[in-house]
Structure 1
Amino acid sequence: MRGQRLVAALMTALLAGCGPAVATSGPVPAGVGPAPERSYAVGMRQFTLDPDGRRPLPVTVWYPAQPSPPPPHTAGSLSDGPATPASPGPARGPRVRPGAPFAAGRFPVVLYSHGLRSLPALHAALTSRWAAAGFVVVAPAYPRTNQRARPFTREDVRNQPADAWRLIRHLVRLGARPGDPLGAHLAVDRFAAAGHSAGGHTTLGMFASGQSSPLRAGIVIAGGRMVAGPSRPLAPMLFVHGSADRIVPESIGRAAYARCLGPAAFLSLTGQGHGEYLTPGRPGFPQVLDTTTDFLRWTLYADRAALHRLPSDATAPDTTTFTTRALPT
């Protein structure tokens, strides 16, 4: 009953609007455990939202999965190793198993938006690691800007925040269906949005001024242009940008950071361009992975220890600089 009332209230907020986005502050709700201390196996599924509609959205989902059955032990085999930390190692990511059974429980949801001429799969190095850390990551392929779009239309980015909200409303409805294989594992009061480049613009557009939002946090990577009206987020925001980005100059991200009305942080990758720091093994990737993961743990799991780790996560001499505004202490 409590869960049904929660879903009904959230649907009302999504459809009608009832207040600004806020940071996670209270205890984690029923059905969601504390922030995980070990990493999960990762599964992957795909579906298409509104396949016969005007703007169909193919969606890739990475999620915490049940571990695969261990191989039979043979003589001389090694015993199980130590527990794996919640954030997988930077260079070696989780193995993704399509169709793997979900891990037990409900998990916070991160909606991830790709950039121009890109696809969700091209961001799996980051999104699969977030899933291993205890998040369901849903990534739409936007109909006019993805790598396979026919026709490709750069200006269609302005329509993508509405596509993203359409997907969130769909996920909330799934969460209200008893026994739905996806919805049963979604914590539909724990949404964040993230994206790279035009996907970062899309993410910021989801916080457009004058719109109510149940989003609890946003991560803008190499983005910051306003595409859906003025955006002055109240929810916690994390900006990630290369200081030598020639496609979306860092000044654009800095300007968006300055407009935030709530807690905000800015991770700058010294001398880097438009996204090489998103590739495992490249300078800055460990800092981006650890900072974004702990930012999500803080905002979606109410993990105060993760909040306090952010400065050390983000700091690497000669590689990064990290600034914050109004972060809790």
Structure 2
Amino acid sequence: MSRRVTPALLAGTVLLAGLVGCSADARKNEDRQAPVERPPAATPTPKVPAGKAPQRSFAVGVRQLKLNRDGRALPTTLWYPAAGESGGAARRSATAAEGRFPVVMFSHGLGGRPDDYATLLTRWAAAGFVVAAPTFPHTSSGGDNNVLDVLNQPADVSYALDQVLALDGTAGDSLRGRVDGERVAAAGHSAGGVTTIGLFTASRDKRLDAGVVFAGTALGVGTAFAGASAPQLFVHGELDEVVDYAAGKAAYDKVPWPKAMLSLPRGDHGRTMLKDKAALRVVSDTTVEFLRWSLYGDPAAKKRIATDATRGDIATLDDHL
């Protein structure tokens, strides 16, 4: 990851924090409007049956999808399990590995881009997941930093998911027969965390089976979690200088499903998670086991979550999975 990534992420998310009051006022106005149809209340039944996740580490391939939703350009990076020996950098347009793999939709932070998170996302792909990360038109690096456009991003993610799942049946595509559309999660950092929470609340996508929220808040999308049970893992630095830890914890507390919160006592908004090797290992190992359990239904992975989360006294885990 380049050295300019973190300042870009921080500068963008500081703007997000500065608009909290404005967005809160907007929500108050919305509350006074006529009632709107809301998603069905949350139910306790998970969709993913018990199974076993791959224990091997895969090579990783990477490719780009040129997507566009009604004039909103959404170039999407795909990392996926590839044939060949594991380890090394992701290989452009590599042959996909044999098997059918769950999907994880990842949303970047304000002022960021998918490549900022490549180290983490390639680890997910190496563990047996197809990871799709759209670049959002207004909140990515080089965009106009229109923070209110975050509220349009859940629909962007759902659209991108449509296109990723369609690859499974596309003749001649390298991912034909490799994408498991019955096992899908959403994840995101900062503004992408807001996007991810929105996919389980106001803009509930019924295809999602689990969520991972990094340094996120329910700002603008609310905490009316709805639909079938979808386990959630929140990851937040207690010294977060942009999205206050208490705001993330407040959203986490409202989750009605199996959930856990990985807290980093010395963690900030993103540098610790993305650049500190020891912290990155704890975060990546914990999230991998969470995804193995929630998407593959692997009970052994669930047992490993607490061990990985508390390794080295880097983080603590509030575990209600």
TM-score higher than 0.5: yes
Corresponding residue of 1:168: 161
The one-letter code sitting in structure 1 at the alignment partner of 2:237 is G
Q: In 1, are the aligned partners of 2:214 and 2:235 still within 8 Å (CA)?
A: yes
Corresponding residue of 1:256: 251
The secondary structure found in structure 2 opposite 1:260 is: coil
The one-letter code sitting in structure 2 at the alignment partner of 1:96 is A
Corresponding residue of 1:128: 122
Q: In 2, are the aligned partners of 1:202 and 1:227 still within 8 Å (CA)?
A: no
Corresponding residue of 1:235: 230
Corresponding residue of 1:145: 139
Establish whether residue 191 from structure 1 lines up as the match of residue 184 from structure 2: yes
Establish whether residue 98 from structure 1 lines up as the match of residue 116 from structure 2: no
Identity %: 43
Cα deviation for residue 232 of structure 1 reads: 2.1
Corresponding residue of 1:207: 200
Aligned residues: 280
Return the alpha-carbon distance in structure 2 between the equivalents of residues 94 and 232 of structure 1. 39
State the Cα deviation string for residues 208-245 of structure 1 (Å, max 9, x = none): 15845121100000112243344325310000000000
State the Cα deviation string for residues 118-142 of structure 1 (Å, max 9, x = none): 0101100100010000000000000
Return the alpha-carbon distance in structure 2 between the equivalents of residues 106 and 299 of structure 1. 16
Establish whether residue 322 from structure 1 lines up as the match of residue 313 from structure 2: no
Structure 1 residues 210 and 199 mapped into 2: Cα distance closer, same or farther (>3 Å)?
Answer: closer
Structure 1 residues 196 and 46 mapped into 2: Cα distance closer, same or farther (>3 Å)?
Answer: same
Q: In 1, are the aligned partners of 2:223 and 2:251 still within 8 Å (CA)?
A: no
Cα deviation for residue 19 of structure 1 reads: 8.9
Return the alpha-carbon distance in structure 1 between the equivalents of residues 203 and 284 of structure 2. 32
Return the alpha-carbon distance in structure 2 between the equivalents of residues 320 and 154 of structure 1. 30
The one-letter code sitting in structure 2 at the alignment partner of 1:307 is K
Corresponding residue of 2:46: 23
The secondary structure found in structure 2 opposite 1:160 is: helix
Corresponding residue of 1:65: 82
Establish whether residue 118 from structure 1 lines up as the match of residue 112 from structure 2: yes
Q: In 2, are the aligned partners of 1:204 and 1:231 still within 8 Å (CA)?
A: no
Cα deviation for residue 171 of structure 1 reads: 2.4
Q: In 2, are the aligned partners of 1:24 and 1:301 still within 8 Å (CA)?
A: no
The secondary structure found in structure 2 opposite 1:128 is: helix
Corresponding residue of 2:13: none
Return the alpha-carbon distance in structure 2 between the equivalents of residues 183 and 252 of structure 1. 41
Corresponding residue of 2:64: 46
Q: In 2, are the aligned partners of 1:19 and 1:213 still within 8 Å (CA)?
A: no
Structure 1 residues 231 and 183 mapped into 2: Cα distance closer, same or farther (>3 Å)?
Answer: farther
Q: In 2, are the aligned partners of 1:270 and 1:318 still within 8 Å (CA)?
A: no
Q: 1:247 aligns with which of 236, 242, 245?
A: 242
Return the alpha-carbon distance in structure 1 between the equivalents of residues 203 and 133 of structure 2. 25
Structure 1 residues 23 and 277 mapped into 2: Cα distance closer, same or farther (>3 Å)?
Answer: farther
Q: 1:269 aligns with which of 264, 267, 282?
A: 264
The secondary structure found in structure 2 opposite 1:254 is: helix
Return the alpha-carbon distance in structure 1 between the equivalents of residues 189 and 88 of structure 2. 21
User: Under a length normalisation based on structure 2, what TM-score does the superposition of the two structures give?
Assistant: 0.81
The one-letter code sitting in structure 2 at the alignment partner of 1:193 is A
Moved more, 232-241 or 58-67: 232-241
User: Under a length normalisation based on structure 1, what TM-score does the superposition of the two structures give?
Assistant: 0.79
Q: In 1, are the aligned partners of 2:241 and 2:268 still within 8 Å (CA)?
A: yes
Q: In 2, are the aligned partners of 1:36 and 1:134 still within 8 Å (CA)?
A: yes
Cα deviation for residue 178 of structure 1 reads: 4.7
Return the alpha-carbon distance in structure 1 between the equivalents of residues 171 and 186 of structure 2. 25
Moved more, 173-182 or 152-161: 173-182
Moved more, 175-184 or 139-148: 175-184
Higher helix share: 2
Larger Rg: 1
Return the alpha-carbon distance in structure 2 between the equivalents of residues 168 and 42 of structure 1. 20
State the Cα deviation string for residues 132-162 of structure 1 (Å, max 9, x = none): 000000000001000021x331111011001
Once superposed, what is the RMSD of the aligned Cα atoms? Answer: 2.2
Q: In 1, are the aligned partners of 2:48 and 2:209 still within 8 Å (CA)?
A: no
